Chain A
Amino acid sequence: MSRLESLYQELILDHNKSPRNFGKLDPFTHYSHGINPLCGDDYEVTLTVSDDVVVDAQFTGSGCAISKASGSLMTLAIIGQPVTTIIRLKNLFLKMLLTDTLTHDERQQLGKLAVLEGVKKFPARVKCAALVWRAIEDALSPSATATVSTE
């Protein structure tokens, strides 16, 4: 696979073209707004959390294929999951992008999210993939700021 093919895999292109859970929950219990001032990526994430489980999640906004696919895959990964699991997934996902290569087990846990591992080879794009996860981190944190910026 060329570097580009490893970045723009079928699954990513598909989620970019038809993002899942694309919209805004109304009402919602948790909210965050993630922006990437340098390139203009801009997403809102809304959640319905009940008994520490994310029962529904949507995201909406605009940005590049990587940020949009990441948002779409994220919603699929978190709906129905307890908040603690989501935090663990987020940490694993950021670890995949920012630091070590993952163990087989860790990659297993990430499931489809591991498709974004190719982004690691494009340092300028890491923040695109991370943006919605930073927003989730913010939305679920007790000190939610409502807007996070990856710059």
Chain B
Amino acid sequence: MEQGGVAGIRNQFPVLGRQVNDHPLVYLDSGATTQKPRRVIDRMTQCLTRDYATVHRGVYSMSQESTEACERVRHLVASFVNARSVNEVVFTSGTTESLNLIATILGRGYLKSGDEILITQMEHHANIVPWQEVAKSVGARLKVAPIDSSGDIRLDEFNSLVTDTTKVVAFTHVSNVLGTVNPVEDLVRIAKNVGAIVVVDGAQGIAHRPVDVRKMGCDFYCFSAHKAYGPTGVGVLVGRYDLLTQLPPYKFGGDMIETVTFDGSTYALPPAKFEAGTPPIVEIIGLGEAIQFLIDVGWHALLAHEHQLISYLMNQLSTIPGIQLIGTPREKSAAVSFVMSGVHPHDVGTILDQEGVAVRVGHHCAQPLMGVYNVPATIRASLGVYNNYQDIDRLIEALLTVRKYFS
């Protein structure tokens, strides 16, 4: 690619040098998890080989350094998403835990019987099932805002589903299946008309669109490091400080307390209140390096690269007979789902794999959405900063091989 920020970037990803089934790897599954740049790998190795020590507990120098290094990452995350304060950044194990955390504490400390929770048809299971459980436990009702055939939320319907009984509105920033970039600010404005709490699933947003939680106006924003060039095992819940103060804790144990006696305990202030136990130290360090990597590449280059490749990919796909795109929203990010007439996605996945092309086939943890489009599964190619035009050409060639078998 000619973009300044992404020129030569492939060389920073060691895994891209490998062969799969005798072909150079074409990795088109970044929506599931991204590959890692050398600097993240090196930084985590350095942490393990030179700096590793527990946080918050030791008076010895290494522990203090480790604590400071993790807190520097918290500052970096806060500025990356424009949080109001560093204390709004809670480390979790990933998006799934962030969503479970917020759903659970809203269930314990805010939602009541008869309240309504609104989600959308394009949600990942991680932003459906925790709400179903909470709704069940407090006697609240879960409502689902529909999408139109191109994969955009129907704003008129959304508007009328938000009522005075709506207490929580939860939706994804970017759809992992359709690629839809939701108009977060518009949706928040509608939800805020009735004073609902807004939770945004940012799993697919964080590496693909600049995130400004203050501008968005949401109360909570969740993401995982591993979909943004960082490691698995760590994620973030960014939450409004006053709400984090008022809501009850989620997990209980060390590091989240103020004082403990056998008669009872008092809890630390956020974010420590929500970080019981020893955190994933090395992974937090890796998250910091990954965010620095994104900052160094720069949004200008990231967005231009994604835009060019997505247009090219959509164009090239349209040249193959019998391909139906699932998701043609107004604004599309890096996930492209499709089905091929006469071929089950599973067969497509196997043939592509033999050509060294890694895509995801299946329901993408969005079974209800598959139902909306009336398909059992789709093929999804999703892009990362390291993909290039050749990757897309290789995908297209491999799809033509599929057509040879299934004409």
Contacts and interface: CB of A to CB of B under 8 A. Distances in A.
Interface stretch (B97-105, B151-159, B346-354): B346-354
B389 interface: no
Nearest to A2: B354
Nearest to A68: B344
B354 A40 contact: no
A18 to B, nearest CB: 12
Contact of B363 (A2, A3, A40, A63): A40
A65 B351 contact: no
Interface string A5-22: 001100001000100000
B170 interface: no
Contact of A4 (B343, B354, B361, B370): B354
A50 interface: no
A65 B21 CA distance: 21
B377 A39 contact: yes
B406 A13 contact: yes
B362 A39 contact: yes
B60 interface: no
Contacts of B376: 40, 42, 62-63
A114 to B, nearest CB: 20
B344 A4 contact: no
B405 A124 contact: no
Interface in A35-65: 38-42, 62-65
Nearest to B405: A8
Given A13-B405, A13-B406, A62-B376, A4 B351 contact: yes
A28 interface: no
Interface in A101-151: 122, 124-125, 128
Contacts of B405: 4, 8, 13
A65 B396 CA distance: 21
Given A3-B354, A39-B377, A122-B350, A64 B362 contact: no
Contact of B344 (A3, A38, A63, A124): A63
A89 interface: no
B403 to A, nearest CB: 12
A151 to B, nearest CB: 13
Given A8-B405, A39-B377, A64 B351 contact: no
Interface residues of A, number: 21
Contacts of B401: 4
Nearest to A62: B376
Contacts of A41: 346
A100 B370 CA distance: 38
A41 B345 CA distance: 11
Contacts of B345: 64
Interface string B42-78: 0000000000000000000000000000000000000
A42 B377 CA distance: 12
A125 B350 contact: yes
A68 to B, nearest CB: 8
B354 A128 contact: no
Nearest to A38: B362
A66 interface: yes
Nearest to A66: B347
Contacts of B342: 17
Contact of B346 (A8, A13, A39, A42): A39
Nearest to A3: B354
Contacts of A65: 343-344, 347, 406
Interface string B355-399: 000000111000000100000110000000000000000000000
B347 A39 contact: no
Contacts of B21: 3
B406 A64 contact: no
A39 B351 CA distance: 16
Contacts of B351: 4, 8
A128 B406 contact: no
A64 B354 contact: no
Nearest to B376: A40
A150 to B, nearest CB: 13
B287 to A, nearest CB: 30
29 contacts: A3-B21, A3-B354, A4-B354, A4-B401, A4-B405, A8-B347, A8-B405, A13-B405, A13-B406, A17-B342, A39-B361, A39-B362, A39-B377, A40-B362, A40-B376, A41-B346, A42-B376, A62-B376, A64-B345, A64-B346, A64-B347, A65-B343, A65-B347, A65-B406, A66-B346, A122-B350, A124-B350, A125-B346, A128-B346
Interface of A: 2-4, 7-8, 13, 17, 38-42, 62-66, 122, 124-125, 128
6 nearest A-B pairs in the assembled complex, by CB-CB distance: A64-B346, A64-B344, A40-B376, A8-B405, A65-B347, A39-B346
Given A62-B344, A65-B406, 8 more contacts: A2-B354, A3-B354, A4-B405, A7-B350, A8-B351, A17-B342, A64-B344, A66-B346
